[in-house]
């Protein structure tokens, strides 16, 4: 009997001790889905930046040594997932990482964490936005929100609303630059949240679910972790997004019921065993 080897995903993101985001989310979720999660940290934080105070240690100067050791060890990955990047230098390191570790069998998912609601995060300069565009050609899957998709394409953010046809045009343009699959996430629609899914050569799909409570830190990390792990396991993009959306909805409902503060993130631990 031939046994399939355990699959492996490299996650390039920060490590935050409290607040349920980034690697602290990806590691348990990807592991619960029976895939080995290998973090490459970009920074170490005691708590995420939504708290009134936090310890922060930039890991940029160590990332190449860390990466080069993985190269020396001959590590190979079935998936690579990139998240928040804090500087131009970190984006350059990620480009090097993808050049070294992406193979024809590696699925790369880029979550270009740059801003939301039409505004960039304070750390993002025009130069960084231009650098982030370098990652597009390496991606098989991208999961931008509308703000990020518009900024990557240098088009105005449609503050008055956006049609499905406009979303399809945006997704197609991103796909022309690299990925075959794009999910435009977190679209607000009449009290619901929509995810717009486009795969090259196929009709688009919209998955919509009722929004529960306020926005919570780490929701995007939960989403991207489940989607990345699902795709690496062979699930199609629509099924991967459905799995992520249903899991998040259940976890947020429970989180709101026990009155967890918004900045504490989503109590996903309650349902981890259901992910496989």
SS3 letters for 212-276? CCCCCCCHHHHHHHHHHHHHHCCCCHHHHHHHHHHHHHHHHHHHHHCCCCHHHCCCHHHHHHHCC
Q: Is residue 104 over pLDDT 70?
A: yes
Strand arrangement of the beta sheet that strand 205-210 belongs to: 56-58, 36-47, 8-18, 79-82, 107-110, 141-142, 181-189, 192-199, 205-210
Confidence category of residue 3, pLDDT binned at 50, 70, 90? low
Percent residues over pLDDT 90 in the chain: 86
Domains with residue ranges and CATH for the chain:
8-274 (3.40.1190.20)
pLDDT at 241: 98
89-103 pLDDT, tens per residue? Answer: 999 999 999 999 999
Using CA atoms, how far apart are residues 185 and 197, in angstroms rounded to an integer?
9
Q: Is residue 22 over pLDDT 80?
A: yes
Q: Is residue 236 over pLDDT 90?
A: yes
Looking at every residue in the chain, the average pLDDT score rounds to 94
pLDDT at 266: 96
120-179 pLDDT, tens per residue? Answer: 888 788 888 899 999 999 999 999 999 999 999 999 999 888 999 999 999 999 999 999
Confidence category of residue 227, pLDDT binned at 50, 70, 90? very high
pLDDT at 123: 78
Q: Is residue 2 over pLDDT 70?
A: no
Q: Is residue 1 over pLDDT 60?
A: no
Q: Is residue 87 over pLDDT 70?
A: yes
């Amino acid at each position: 009997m031939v046994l399939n080897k355990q699959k492996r995903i490299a996650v390039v993101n920060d490590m935050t001790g409290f607040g349920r985001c980034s690697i602290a989310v990806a590691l348990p979720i990807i592991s619960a889905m029976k895939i080995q999660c290998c973090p490459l940290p970009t920074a170490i934080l005691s708590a995420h930046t939504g708290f009134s105070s936090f310890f922060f240690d930039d890991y940029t100067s160590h990332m190449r040594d860390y990466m080069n050791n993985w190269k020396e060890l001959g590590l190979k990955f079935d998936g690579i997932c990139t998240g928040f990047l804090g500087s131009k230098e970190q984006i350059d390191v990620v480009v090097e990482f993808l050049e070294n570790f992406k193979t024809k069998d590696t699925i790369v998912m880029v979550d270009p964490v740059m801003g939301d609601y039409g505004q960039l995060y304070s750390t993002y300069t025009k130069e960084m936005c231009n650098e982030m565009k370098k990652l597009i050609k390496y991606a098989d899957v991208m999961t931008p929100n509308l703000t990020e998709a518009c900024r990557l394409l240098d088009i105005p953010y449609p503050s008055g609303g956006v049609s499905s046809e406009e979303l399809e045009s945006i997704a197609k343009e991103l796909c022309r630059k690299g990925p075959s699959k794009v999910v435009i996430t977190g679209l607000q629609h009449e009290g619901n949240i929509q995810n717009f899914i486009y795969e090259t050569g196929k009709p688009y799909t919209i998955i919509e679910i009722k929004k529960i409570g306020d926005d919570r830190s780490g929701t995007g990390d939960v989403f991207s972790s489940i989607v990345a792990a699902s795709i690496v396991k062979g699930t199609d993009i629509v099924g991967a997004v459905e799995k992520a959306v249903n899991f998040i909805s259940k976890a947020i409902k429970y989180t709101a019921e026990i009155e967890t503060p918004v900045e504490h993130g989503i109590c996903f631990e309650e349902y981890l065993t259901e992910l496989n």
